Structure 1
Amino acid sequence: MPESSVKHIKSPAKTAFKDAHILVIRLSAMGDVAMLVPVLRTLIQTYPQLKITVLTRAFFAPMFAGIPNVEVYEADINGVHNGVFGLSRLAKDLRDLGIDAVADVHDVLRSNVLKSIFYFYGIQVKQIDKGRAEKKALTASNNKIFKQLKSTHQRYADVFEELGYPIDLREHSFPQKQKLSPNTREITGNNTLKWLGVAPFAQHDSKVYPLDLLEDVLRSINDEGKTQIYLFGGGKKEKEQLEALAFKYEHITSLAGKLKFEEELALISNLDGMLSMDSGNAHLAAMYGIPVVSLWGVTHPFAGFTAFNQPQENSILPDLDQYPKIPTSIYGNKVPEGYEEVMRTIKPEKVIEKLDKILNAPN
């Protein structure tokens, strides 16, 4: 069942204003910000007279381009908006925009400081329920409660329902493919092969597929000669690894350091598929309705971070009989002794089979 499948929502609460101006707070991280995009698309589609201002980092602004009535207010949290005084200045500036209500879908220290100030201004604030107790039970070593939790997308949607704007994520509509820039066209050329994006890295090593196994996957797809593979990554070490990998194969190109973020997003919107870890690139591809095959380590889809509208079978997991403590953490930052190599139980043949099915699916 796709991640976006939820029960039908009741009609809007009578207290909601159709033409309200809502501030939405989500400062980081990239994947969590990307998961907000389809929710806001559905919100504006359902309530086209709403005005939305998203408070987030400047780098993330291109994600929201093209959504009607949605603007980004750049949070300079390491500069003028740093500390209590900086946040007080930020809250005043946001109040002066004429906001009517606040949807805090982050619930961190900074957003809680802002919440307190907005309450002082008489502005309604609703916050996300992150389900911390449920997630603690899901990741417990003993007496684990192993069950599917509510998706992060639906947790975001619940905040808007509390404000009086219920939405049904099944009604979401994906945007059209974006036009590629001349700079991107210089890299892609007039390539008529299938396009596969591959994002091999994640914040924590526990969520990264071993490079030798990944190369087995890429070599097989490259040798078929039907698919052009684009590698995504950032940072000096990652760039060197991706360039070395791309150098070996005719149909593999590294994009690391070659495109602006908005150019990467446009290219992602034109892919035929994405292979990603449990990381931000899975959510970036899902924003555009691109089929995503995701590889999971010590984390698990039950925590609610599956990419939007992706079927469960596209999430490939390690051997849970061999590693019964999975998930050991929500973000991959806790790895019990003996769990360092869990992803080696994901066989390249299984990944190749899943990718072939996606790439050869009828349009």
Structure 2
Amino acid sequence: MALTVPVLQKLAEQNPKAEITLVSRPFMEPLCTPLPVRFHGADVTKEYKGVPGLWRLYKELKKLYHPDVIIDLHYVLRSRVLSIFFKSNGTPVYHINKGREGKKALSRPENKVRRQLPHTTERYAEVFRQAGLQLDFDPKDQPKINFISEADLTSLLPENLDTPIIGLAPFAQHKGKMWPLSKSAKLLERLQALGYHCILFGGPQERKELDKLASGTMSRNAAGNFTLGVELTLMKELDVMIAMDSS
């Protein structure tokens, strides 16, 4: 989700007449705050759960926004079902090509195919181009986006502001994408021994595990202590971010 932000920023700048509505889970709304796009929160695990819930969401989106085109940047079962509903009404739908075959060829244990794969942001941009929208986007030249927060973050930052700050998010939605926590702990020790200031990131449900990971070290744990908007502001202070997946 976070990687859609620079793409949407460029898309809105280059298509000023386009009305863009981003549909995602409600807690993701802070990501859209600095963008000239409309946000529609939809919790597909509760209010819009299952096929009946997705049907209600389809009817709601159709009534509120009358979309001319649907762009599916997630392309999972729920978004595909929603796309089918829109297709049945004659609304054109375009979806991301995740490049699974190329990723499998690169990551398999033997006979790897080592070639540069498109960055995820470029995959997002290509879907908008396929839909006929103008989008000149270079993943290496991403726009600066300001997330505004009035929270006091001094307790998480080093006293010496010249100290390099590294963020570490050791969890992922799928366990197959994660390093064992023991390896993350060793990495944390190594980084601190080299003089880096480390801040841990994660969801509220991961707070206890991250507290354990931070205990006995000089690391700070931001998980579960702030809203997503505040964490995004904190991430702007980082020199490097290490994560287990693209989010």
- TM-score where L is the length of structure 1: 0.59
| SS of match in other structure, 1:34 | coil
Within a 5 Å distance, the mapping from 1:253-264 to structure 2 comes to 253-264=220-231
Q: Is the 8 A contact 2:169 2:244 kept in 1?
A: no
Q: Which residue in 1 is equivalent to 2:143?
A: 173
Within a 5 Å distance, the mapping from 1:81-160 to structure 2 comes to 81-96=48-63, 97-160=65-128
Change (3 A) 1:257 1:245: farther
Q: Post-superposition shift, 1:240?
A: 2.3
1:274 to 235, 240, 246: 240
Change (3 A) 1:88 1:200: closer
Q: Post-superposition shift, 1:157?
A: 0.8
Whose radius of gyration is greater, 1 or 2? 1
Cα distance in 2 for residues equivalent to 1:62 and 1:79: 20
Q: Post-superposition shift, 1:213?
A: 3.8
Q: Is the 8 A contact 2:25 2:41 kept in 1?
A: yes
Deviations 1:302-347 (A, max 9, x none): xxxxxxxxxxxxxxxxxxxxxxxxxxxxxxxxxxxxxxxxxxxxxx
Look up the equivalent residue of 2:202 and give its one-letter code.
G
Cα distance in 1 for residues equivalent to 2:86 and 2:29: 23
Q: Which residue in 2 is equivalent to 1:238?
A: 209
Q: Is the 8 A contact 2:7 2:121 kept in 1?
A: yes
Q: Post-superposition shift, 1:279?
A: 2.9
Aligned length: 237
Q: Which residue in 1 is equivalent to 2:170?
A: 201
Cα distance in 2 for residues equivalent to 1:150 and 1:49: 28
Look up the equivalent residue of 1:220 and give its one-letter code.
L
Look up the equivalent residue of 2:99 and give its one-letter code.
G
Cα distance in 2 for residues equivalent to 1:278 and 1:137: 19
Q: Is the 8 A contact 2:70 2:91 kept in 1?
A: yes
Cα distance in 2 for residues equivalent to 1:189 and 1:220: 15
Within a 5 Å distance, the mapping from 1:58-73 to structure 2 comes to 58-68=26-36, 70-73=37-40
Q: Is the 8 A contact 1:157 1:167 kept in 2?
A: yes
| SS of match in other structure, 1:80 | coil
Gaps of 5+ in 2: none
Percent of residue pairs identical:
31
| SS of match in other structure, 1:221 | coil
Deviations 1:164-193 (A, max 9, x none): 1142223642124x4442443565598744
Look up the equivalent residue of 1:276 and give its one-letter code.
I
Cα distance in 1 for residues equivalent to 2:13 and 2:212: 42
| SS of match in other structure, 1:135 | helix
- TM-score where L is the length of structure 2: 0.83
